[in-house]
Structure 1
Amino acid sequence: MKRYFIPFIFLFFLVSAAIAQTTISGTVTDAFTHEALAGVVISVADSSTTSTALAKTNSTGKFEISAAQNQLLRFSMIGYTARIVKNNTSAGKLTINITMEPSTVDLQPVIVTASREKQQRREAPIAITQLNATQIKDTKATALYQLLNKVPGVYMVNLGNEQHTMAIRQPITYNALYLYMEDGLPIRPTGIFNHNSLYEINMSGVKDIEVIKGPASSLYGSNSIGGAVNFITQGPPTGYAGNVSLQGDSYHYRRIDADGGFTSGKLGVYAGGYIAHQTDSWQDYSDFDKYSGNFKTVYDFNNTTKLTTAASYNYLNTQTPGNLDSAHFYSKSYGSNQRFTYRKVNAFRASTRLDHTWNGKNATFITLFYRYNSTAQLPSYFISDVRDAAGAYLSSNGQVNDQKFNSYGLLAQHRADFSFLNSRLITGLYIDDSPSSYYAQSLDIQKNVADNYYTGFTNTGRYIDQYRIKLFNTAAYAQYEIKPLETLRIVMGLRYDRVHYDFKNGLPPGQTKYKQQEANNFNIAAPKLGLTYYLGNNTGLYANYSVGFQPPETTGLYNSRQTGSLKQATFYNYEVGGWLSAFDKKVYAEVSLYDLEGRNEIISQLQPDNTTQNENAGATRHRGIEYSITYAPVHELTFRFGGTNARHTYLDYSEVATNYATGNSIVTAYNGRRMNNAPAWIATGEITYKPIFLPGFRIAPEWQHINRYFTNPANTKVYPGYDICNLRLGYDFKQSAKGLGIWFNVLNMTDKLYATTVTSNQYGDTYSAAPPRVYTLGVSYAFSKY
């Protein structure tokens, strides 16, 4: 009997084990955007967190595995917080849907901006920072500067009503030293930069933001010198999902956001946008309206071919109060000295992209795009007073202008992987045909001299400028990566650009200083050489040499206010850096040191009549260190600190001024002086607490610091800088009223008087005043299939 009993027992356990195995299938999606997550690793995890991989999610986020009852399953992916799920059933089949939140601690997320291909951060030999969906959701920004100023080394200057300028490895500047992109496409063509152009982005449709610091011209071309900012838009959710929110602040800012989408079979659709309205704010004459929206469809023909079509529209109509003099700024008199300047923007972009994977080693995408833009304005910064030799007031003038462009373009890229040294070759072609037009008409400005108040204007009908430009930019680029060692990756890149301006003057010869027709060509090659060395344990080093370039802007070349000719600017960047992880991945740190040397850098100088003039500085140098550290001692608490210490110097630069009393020219050299509007230290810190005993609640105090800086190239005038504190609180209901969220933000908690930027001329200083303490309250509701 015993000889039958033992096999019987063995067979019983085999059958029991087979019965206990459960076939588990499902979908893994992003907790905020509800997009499918491909490449999520599903593992068996034990109490010591070691795991054995079972499977990965496919391109649509789906998976199927077998697991025993009570077995712990770990879902993990770079850039996301891992999820541990217990199999609590012994049923034969089980369907579960997993949501994963982007991690705010992981230093090495998956990025796309470094090569237009998905790769781990540690594979890119550049300084790049990603703001993910968690940070965007938690911040609840009313303007993009509240997000971008979290990035170490970045100072996005708030000029009010979503208007802005930037400082990344550069002084605070209005010049074309930054490239702004949406899904890897420049939102404006070369030669038609606008420092305000991020008001042409739909904030509510942004999933991630990636910021390259330093030149990226070898891949992206012109203007990507101080930095390149890529806004990655949301795509269709798996199943269906939607969100609506309302918010307002203590100074009558009101906004409504709504978005949603679905995936049915092979087709996915997403649409979203917001409407913002400002009236009777803390600053006089600063009302505005903004309408913004995105639309995207994704059609998966099969596992290897996908078609993505996207469109966006942004409309901004804003009053522009202008800057304040020192007396009004320090007395907190925020009244405008006129009530008629404005800016009206219409911006439409559309693209269609076809992705095809030929095999495991070859993939291609082709993108066709179209852009339309009109920026009409009566700018406050062009209102100027005419004075005699003794400085006595004579009259005032200004202008109204409008710049328009249409773009028709193509971007194509192919990626091939080779067995030889584990290498990869990326090649690309870029074509941008952007005909544009510009006109400016002269205004006679009426002024109450005694009260220093501009009362009105009369359009003289006289054209200051009237021209058309055929702008044609063609480029080819290649990037070759080799991996001779498991720990070493070398990246070599080169891009060649030809920028062609064909200028046609609409003014008769007697009314213009320009030819009736003129052609300008700029031919630029931008190389790059970089490497990364992985030391293990999520620690590594990188180094790179890169070149950035900037042809003169069309308005700089052909605008009647521009008295001197301009040369192309070139920048040479030398950089080393590294990253590390410590204390069981509770601490992440990153640092980069750079030396950026500019030749013929185009800088903007404020003139005595309050207008600006572009000039070439013979040579400039920008040296600094950028650093960030994130510490999460426990899951619910995160500390973040980052900043940059930099020195921006004129190496070869002089100004020519006129002595109105004698009529003689005065040449002043500024070699060795600090560049004006260049803070030596920019820093930011934040503590985020999400208590485990109150799921869904968050509180995050934040500190921002801008150090003192000179406001003139002679280094005789100084703005002391500022420190401000912000506080953000929110609660997302997890149980009752699930899907409901509320938030309360306090910006400038201490009600600090400060200016976001200060400039000087011979008649005094002008201040761009920052908002006093602002309270913002919002409520949202989200729903989804998963």
Structure 2
Amino acid sequence: MKRYLILIIFLSISVSLTFGQTIKGTVTDALTHEALPGAMICNVDSSNTTSKAFAKTNTAGKFEISITGVRQLKFTMIGYTDKLMKLENLANSKGLSIVMEPSTLDLQPVIVTASREKQARREAPIAITQINATQIKDTKATALYQLLNKVAGVYMVNLGNEQHTMAIRQPITYNALYLYMEDGLPIRPTGIFNHNSLYEINMSGVKDIEVIKGPASSLYGSNSIGGAVNFITQGPPTGYAGDLSVQGDNYHYKRVDADGGFTSGKFGLYAGGYIAHQKDSWQDYSDFDKYSGNIKTTYDFDNDTKLTTEASYNNLDTQTPGSLDSAHFYNKSYGSNQRFTYRKVNALRASSRVDHKWDDKNSTFFTAFFRNNSTAQLPSYYISDVRDAGGNYLSSNGQVNDLKFQSYGLLTQHRSDFDFLHSRLIVGAYLDDSPSSYYAQFLDIQKDVANNYYTGFTNIGKYIDQYKIRLFNTAAYTQYEIKPAEALRIVMGLRYDRVHYNFDNGLPVGQTKYKQQETNNFNIVAPKLGLTYDLGSNSGFYANYSVGFQPPETTDLYSSRQQVSLKQATFDNYEIGGWFSAFDRKLYAEISLYDLEGHNEIINQLLSDNTTQNENAGATRHRGIEYSLTYAPVHELTFRFSGTNAKHTYIDYSEVATNYSTGQSYTINYNGKRMNNAPAWIANSELTYKPLYLPGFRIATEWQHIDKYYTNPANTKTYSGYDTYNLRLGYEFKQDVLKGAGVWFNVLNLTNKLYATTVTSNQYGDTYNAAPPRIYSLGISYSISKY
């Protein structure tokens, strides 16, 4: 009897320990080691057929729950793979560490770019795509185009050494039609756009990338016409974590990445960056060095107030070989026709943000930011030949220039939720004071005409441009959301922007066509109206109307090379789209149809000396369909296909040309013509295999397609486009002494295809930006972490 009594007491204690206690824990991201606030904790029955949510993690990713009567927990969060935990298997229920893997199958991740606050993708009536931490980690990109080109409707053009341009709902263009942001802040001020400016991003410190396609001006302001790209940076990990990697390729590219951080009590810190070096690569005169890093600290005053401070620094020093003529391109002769052009960039950004939650329905953030930027260059694209009326060579010239700016700015936003129709109001204000300076000096370029080779230059000290500009951008915006029905959400937005340029000319009267001082103002009220409808079962649709706004750039307004005055451009965007899942959520698809109509769109015009200037086209139209599909028939295999079919048309545009034999001018009308450098079809597809029998191993093949396009506005010349293939393999050790180590091997341009990333035509022929031949890249890494 005594033995039975002892057994009953023992079993009672065991049951009470398992089912009558409170447990605590932390939920973190498996890749970034950051805490995951808002993760749902569900009570699941033993068959895993029904579940009931009864708790969420707090802002620090922590939870504390009673598990009385609970046998199994499920942790869920949008954008992550569900995690199950049986309580009888718990070794330490006093401090659980739940690690969740980002899901590449989740079509509806948590996003921040739609409203500057976290929300589900299905609540945003826009075309937006997220590149998550898993894709970033698996790709092992050496340049951002290798990531962004996975997004439907995006073609980021590789110009070498992290230089680039872009095509999102636009032809391949160098104009200010895109807004590039870091944690919701523009990395450059309005009016000082640079098509290369993503070399001012520390790739090593990026956690997620969000791409809005189409105008986002009602929330983010000017230049977000074709799209807005927001880089979400890595934050401090829970506990501590660190990563180190080394890589190189067969063309002497070398790179070292290192990052790490910790959280201790209320304070968290993250720091990371990379050093890249290239010398004697496949293309002549293309050496470069880059130093990139960022630091972020967080301090939680309490559960309702948080301070985030961050800073980034990027230094790029690169040679610029220039483009190739058709003979050198097709002969694979990658020599440069000069050895003196360069680009040197220094970019420093810093910001401090305070988030405060007043109650469950009201929150505010306030951000102060600073930028300090210098871009000095002797550009190859400004080297031009002077010819007589008969086309005979006379001389060559070029320029050296330097653009500098500093920014002092503020961004604040308040959000209030109301019981009335489950509505939400967002109001915000933006201020950006960015004084800048610019100079350009004339260069006399010496040329070996017989060999078509530029041998050197002489700077005679003559200024082409020399000025200062006080650039002041102020804005106010509001966005109101209502839910008149459970499935229906309506979003209305309005933003007012005023861009003020105060120009101060440094050139004396008689040496400039501009006044000694003048001001220019551009402003707009940009509306937005959209809706989403949730059909259930992870399917739904959206529609929106939005307006885009592009003021002329300062270098276009005040450059002596600019021969025509520019007006501000506006765009009307009409869009519908939807998403659905099938085959027991193994297949996800998303589709968007858009009609983007430009008024006074600013486009590049090719001049007779093979340089360009900008000009307003009376009207343009951009129509297309974007689509993406992800299918995982089994857990180990994932197939992704992304594409866009588009038609970009001149509705009202003409150029004035000169007949060199007679010296007379005439007008060429391009109405109804396809815009040049506008592929009709862009596609990217990837197949990834991660076998269960070999945990940590992955292999992926990728296909990139760029369709044929016209290379001149007259539609008389074309480039055939290209297809290229990439192969990526990697292995991460999961156990034993090598746990935390990893190795990868990438092959880009697997078939060694000869192709150009972009081609332009002029009256003397075509010029090609050659893409790299086959590249083998090998890397090793090591990671440590403790939660």
Q: Shared fold by TM > 0.5?
A: yes
Give yes or no for contact 1:20–1:90 (8 Å, CA) kept in 2: no
Deviation at 1:92, TM superposition (A): 8.7
SS at match of 1:480: strand
**CA displacement 1:311-363 (0-9 Å, x = unmatched):** 00000000000000000000000000000000000000000001000000000
Structure 1 residue 784 corresponds to structure 2 residue 782 = no
Mapped to 1, the partners of 2:389 and 2:687 lie a distance apart of: 57
Mapped to 1, the partners of 2:443 and 2:642 lie a distance apart of: 47
Give yes or no for contact 1:27–1:36 (8 Å, CA) kept in 2: yes
Cα 1:511–1:91 shift into 2, 3 Å = closer
Structure 1 residue 705 corresponds to structure 2 residue 705 = yes
Deviation at 1:659, TM superposition (A): 1.3
**CA displacement 1:439-487 (0-9 Å, x = unmatched):** 0000000000000000000001000000000000000000000000000
Structure 1 residue 210 corresponds to structure 2 residue 210 = yes
* 1:33 paired residue number: 32
Give yes or no for contact 2:551–2:569 (8 Å, CA) kept in 1: yes
Mapped to 1, the partners of 2:212 and 2:735 lie a distance apart of: 40
**CA displacement 1:521-553 (0-9 Å, x = unmatched):** 011111000000111111101000000000000
Mapped to 2, the partners of 1:264 and 1:340 lie a distance apart of: 51
Mapped to 1, the partners of 2:688 and 2:6 lie a distance apart of: 59
Deviation at 1:90, TM superposition (A): 7.5
* 1:4 paired residue number: none
Mapped to 1, the partners of 2:344 and 2:188 lie a distance apart of: 17
Mapped to 1, the partners of 2:606 and 2:490 lie a distance apart of: 44
Deviation at 1:48, TM superposition (A): 3.8
Mapped to 2, the partners of 1:49 and 1:320 lie a distance apart of: 60
Mapped to 2, the partners of 1:269 and 1:16 lie a distance apart of: 41
Deviation at 1:614, TM superposition (A): 0.3
Deviation at 1:41, TM superposition (A): 1.6
- Superposed counterparts of 1:324-473, under 5 Å: 324-473=324-473
SS at match of 2:95: strand
Mapped to 2, the partners of 1:69 and 1:420 lie a distance apart of: 38
Deviation at 1:98, TM superposition (A): 1.5
Mapped to 2, the partners of 1:10 and 1:547 lie a distance apart of: 73
* 1:185 paired residue number: 185
Q: Which amino acid aligns with 2:748?
A: L
**CA displacement 1:155-204 (0-9 Å, x = unmatched):** 00000000000000000000000000000000000000000000000000
Mapped to 1, the partners of 2:692 and 2:64 lie a distance apart of: 31
* 1:142 paired residue number: 142
Give yes or no for contact 1:69–1:87 (8 Å, CA) kept in 2: no
Q: Which amino acid aligns with 2:214?
A: G
**CA displacement 1:759-783 (0-9 Å, x = unmatched):** 0000000000000000000000000
**CA displacement 1:52-110 (0-9 Å, x = unmatched):** 22422111111233447993322111100111222345879442212111110000000
- Greater shift, 53-62 or 366-375, is seen at 53-62
Cα 1:782–1:390 shift into 2, 3 Å = same
Deviation at 1:11, TM superposition (A): 10
Q: Which amino acid aligns with 1:167?
A: A
- Superposed counterparts of 1:184-333, under 5 Å: 184-333=184-333
Cα 1:269–1:15 shift into 2, 3 Å = closer
Mapped to 1, the partners of 2:646 and 2:240 lie a distance apart of: 47
Structure 1 residue 121 corresponds to structure 2 residue 121 = yes
Cα 1:16–1:751 shift into 2, 3 Å = closer
Structure 1 residue 574 corresponds to structure 2 residue 574 = yes
Give yes or no for contact 1:70–1:89 (8 Å, CA) kept in 2: no
SS at match of 2:648: strand
Give yes or no for contact 1:19–1:92 (8 Å, CA) kept in 2: no
Mapped to 2, the partners of 1:675 and 1:316 lie a distance apart of: 33
Give yes or no for contact 1:344–1:376 (8 Å, CA) kept in 2: yes
- Superposed counterparts of 1:537-686, under 5 Å: 537-686=537-686
SS at match of 2:102: coil
* 1:760 paired residue number: 761
* 1:751 paired residue number: 752
Mapped to 2, the partners of 1:606 and 1:250 lie a distance apart of: 37
Q: Which amino acid aligns with 2:781?
A: S
Structure 1 residue 17 corresponds to structure 2 residue 18 = no
Cα 1:324–1:103 shift into 2, 3 Å = same
Deviation at 1:25, TM superposition (A): 2.2
Give yes or no for contact 1:68–1:87 (8 Å, CA) kept in 2: no
**CA displacement 1:270-318 (0-9 Å, x = unmatched):** 1000000001100000000000000110000000000100000000000
* 1:740 paired residue number: 741
Q: Which amino acid aligns with 1:33?
A: T
Count of residue pairs the alignment pairs up: 782
Mapped to 2, the partners of 1:780 and 1:49 lie a distance apart of: 40
Deviation at 1:51, TM superposition (A): 1.6
* 2:87 paired residue number: 87
Cα 1:87–1:449 shift into 2, 3 Å = same
SS at match of 1:555: helix
Mapped to 1, the partners of 2:448 and 2:11 lie a distance apart of: 98
Deviation at 1:613, TM superposition (A): 1.0
Q: Which amino acid aligns with 1:18?
A: S
Q: Which amino acid aligns with 1:321?
A: P
Mapped to 2, the partners of 1:572 and 1:755 lie a distance apart of: 32
Cα 1:778–1:14 shift into 2, 3 Å = same
Give yes or no for contact 1:70–1:86 (8 Å, CA) kept in 2: no
Mapped to 1, the partners of 2:599 and 2:52 lie a distance apart of: 55
Mapped to 2, the partners of 1:528 and 1:10 lie a distance apart of: 68
Cα 1:739–1:13 shift into 2, 3 Å = closer
- Superposed counterparts of 1:154-165, under 5 Å: 154-165=154-165
Mapped to 2, the partners of 1:730 and 1:606 lie a distance apart of: 45
Give yes or no for contact 2:324–2:334 (8 Å, CA) kept in 1: yes
Give yes or no for contact 1:709–1:719 (8 Å, CA) kept in 2: yes
Q: Which amino acid aligns with 2:131?
A: L
The TM-score normalised by the length of structure 2 is: 0.97
**CA displacement 1:726-750 (0-9 Å, x = unmatched):** 0110001001211001000000000
Cα 1:182–1:20 shift into 2, 3 Å = closer
Mapped to 2, the partners of 1:95 and 1:276 lie a distance apart of: 41
Give yes or no for contact 2:43–2:70 (8 Å, CA) kept in 1: no
Give yes or no for contact 2:18–2:88 (8 Å, CA) kept in 1: no
Q: Which amino acid aligns with 2:260?
A: G
Structure 1 vs Structure 2 CA RMSD: 1.7
Mapped to 2, the partners of 1:347 and 1:245 lie a distance apart of: 24
* 1:74 paired residue number: 74
Mapped to 2, the partners of 1:16 and 1:395 lie a distance apart of: 93
SS at match of 1:435: strand
Deviation at 1:629, TM superposition (A): 0.5
Q: Which amino acid aligns with 2:447?
A: K
* 1:771 paired residue number: 772
SS at match of 2:455: strand
**CA displacement 1:410-431 (0-9 Å, x = unmatched):** 0000000011110000000000
Mapped to 2, the partners of 1:574 and 1:678 lie a distance apart of: 20
Give yes or no for contact 1:678–1:710 (8 Å, CA) kept in 2: yes
Q: Which amino acid aligns with 2:742?
A: G
Mapped to 2, the partners of 1:274 and 1:233 lie a distance apart of: 14
Deviation at 1:12, TM superposition (A): 9.6
**CA displacement 1:236-290 (0-9 Å, x = unmatched):** 0111110000000110000000000111111101100000000110000000000
Structure 2: runs of 5 or more not aligned: none
- Superposed counterparts of 1:496-511, under 5 Å: 496-511=496-511
Deviation at 1:636, TM superposition (A): 1.3
Structure 1: runs of 5 or more not aligned: 2-6
**CA displacement 1:595-648 (0-9 Å, x = unmatched):** 000000000122221211101000000000000010011111111001000000
Mapped to 2, the partners of 1:59 and 1:419 lie a distance apart of: 23
SS at match of 2:663: coil
